[in-house]
Amino acid sequence: MRSEGFDDPDRELDARAIDGEPFEDIMAALDELPDGESLLLINSFEPEPLYGVLEDRGFEHETAKPAPGEWHVEITRA
């Protein structure tokens, strides 16, 4: 999937498909993310609390809202 304004992400995680709290799944996907690759996180809301965690763990992010009720966050290692 390509989100407008983002480079082609290497991996994708659709948090809308996760039953329950997606935080652990997101962190596991980031732990497995090789240097130089990006993860596209798709969510039904803007995951603002995640942004501080990403910064603390050495990641950068860009956020877009391509459709109502759909948020894309491209995450890369800083």
Residue 27 lies in a domain: yes
Residue range(s) defining the domain that contains residue 20: 11-77
Residue 56 lies in a domain: yes
Residue 4 lies in a domain: no
Render pLDDT for 5-62 as a digit per residue (tens, 0 to 9). Answer: 577 889 999 999 999 999 999 999 999 999 999 999 999 999 999 999 999 999 999 9
Residue 2 lies in a domain: no
CATH number for the domain harbouring residue 23 = 3.30.110.40
- 1 confidence band (pLDDT: 50, 70, 90): very low
Report the pLDDT value the prediction gives residue 67, as an integer from 0 to 100: 95
Counted domains in the chain: 1
Distance CA 52, CA 55 (A): 5
In this structure, the chain runs to a length of 78
- 78 confidence band (pLDDT: 50, 70, 90): confident
Residue 3 lies in a domain: no
